[in-house]
Amino acid sequence: MAVVKLLTVEHLADKPLKIAIILLLALIGHIVFRQIVATLCRRAARGDGTRQKARLQTLSGVGKSAVAIVVWTWAGMTILSTVGINVAPLIASAGVAGVALGFGAQSLVKDFLTGIFMLIEDQYGVGDTVTIGDVTGEVEAVTLRLTTIRDIDGTRWYIRNGQVTEVGNATQEIVNARVDVPVGLSNTVEDALAAIGHAATLAANDEELKHLVAGEPVVDGVTQVETDHMVIRVHVPTHPGQQWKMKREMLARIIPALKDAQVATAYPHGVGIPHPQN
């Protein structure tokens, strides 16, 4: 009896030490893996400024949460096993509960999974101008569940990530500032092309606009012919997000250039208004 009692006391005294070692290992693992996740996210994140910070913060949060769940779940199960509790029924119950939760919150799970893949693939980020469905605007925030967009009228849109099936991003890599200019059919094509091309070149070489431009202007030529006018297209490669400003500047120069070259636009005197008689 004395031997059995001694073994029992020693066995019970040994358990707190094992539990302390498990907790210490879990704490160390938690800290180490959090640092690894943070480092990997910094290396994987692209872009700069607010966009990079927002994406990095979200990715780091996801990774650190996953690390915490895995590490402390392992620690809890190991401690329960150490004190003599059979963890197999708990694991089975957790599996059943997980399946039930998955069926009950399918849309929420879909939102989170879609948000994770959006961030990993860097489909868009804070500051990008995107089109999602019928909404076009600037991305203000991206979380695992929601994407927040501010449109041109100032309306803020909250879009669940699970509802995003296709995205158009107008601010990734090199984009084009495209201008379609309608001119009257009475003009010669060569004169119109020369005037529009000259105006686009002046805009691209302007000292205040050169930092927006990523390439030389290209006059694509006549892209459309109607019964009363033709459309001439010109485009300039620009840096992401600068195409709209460059388009406005090109239009501001093309209109007076057409007047100087005596190239008439469509309906120069207004719709239905005849040419003034001399």
Note whether 2-104 and 123-169 share their fold: no
pTM of the full structure: 0.58
How far is 25 from 217, CA to CA, in rounded Å? 62
User: Going by CATH, does the domain composed of 175-260 fall within 3.40.190.10?
Assistant: no
The predicted structure's pLDDT at residue 226: 85
2-104 fold: Helix Hairpins (1.10.287)
Tens of pLDDT, residue by residue, the chain (278 residues) = 444 444 455 555 567 788 888 889 888 988 888 888 878 776 765 555 556 666 677 777 777 877 888 888 888 888 888 877 777 776 666 666 666 666 656 777 788 888 888 877 888 888 888 999 889 998 888 887 888 999 888 899 999 988 888 888 887 777 888 999 998 888 889 999 999 999 999 898 888 888 888 889 999 999 988 888 899 999 999 888 888 889 999 999 998 998 888 888 776 555 444 455 54
123-169 fold: SH3 type barrels. (2.30.30)
The predicted structure's pLDDT at residue 150: 93
Return the residue matching tokens 């070149």.
Answer: 201
What DSSP character marks residue 122? T
At 207, list the tokens: 């000292």
How far is 203 from 195, CA to CA, in rounded Å? 13
Contacts 24+ apart (CB under 8 A), 191-196: 191/261, 191/263, 192/230, 192/232, 192/258, 192/261, 192/263, 193/219, 193/221, 193/232, 194/261, 195/254, 195/257, 195/258, 195/260, 195/261, 195/263, 196/232, 196/234, 196/254, 196/257, 196/258
Phi and psi at residue 5, to the nearest 5°? -65, -40
CA of 263: how far to CAs of 27, 220, 256, 257, in Å? 76, 18, 10, 9
The predicted structure's pLDDT at residue 222: 92
The predicted structure's pLDDT at residue 268: 58
At 209, list the tokens: 């606009």
| Domain segments of the chain as ranges | 2-104, 123-169, 175-260
180, 169, 172, 145: which is closest to 159 by C-alpha? 145
Cβ atoms of 214 and 174 within 8 Å: the answer is yes
What DSSP character marks residue 265? B
At 5, list the tokens: 């009692």
